[in-house]
Homo-oligomer: A and B are copies of this chain.
Amino acid sequence: MKIEDEIKQPKFQSEYHKLGVNLAFTANWFDRQITQKLKEFKLTSQQFNVLRILRGQYPNPATINLITERMLDKMSNASRLVDKLLTKGLVDRKTCPEDRRQVDIIITEKGQELLKKIDEHTKDWEAPLMTLSKQEATLMNDFLDRMRGN
In the complex, the answer to whether B17 meets A24 with C-beta atoms within 8 Å is no
Chain B CB within 8 A of A59 CB: no
- The A interface, classified by DSSP as helix, strand, loop or mixed, is helix
Number of chain copies forming the complex: 2
In the complex, the answer to whether A26 meets B144 with C-beta atoms within 8 Å is yes
**What residues on B are CB-neighbors of A140 within 8 Å?**
19, 22, 140, 143
Chain B CB within 8 A of A83 CB: no
| Number of chain A residues whose Cβ lies closer than 8 Å to a Cβ of chain B | 56
Chain B CB within 8 A of A9 CB: yes
A128→B8 CA distance, assembly (Å): 25
Residues of A within 8 A of B (CB): 1-3, 6-9, 14-32, 56, 69-73, 75, 122, 125-126, 128-132, 134, 136-141, 143-150
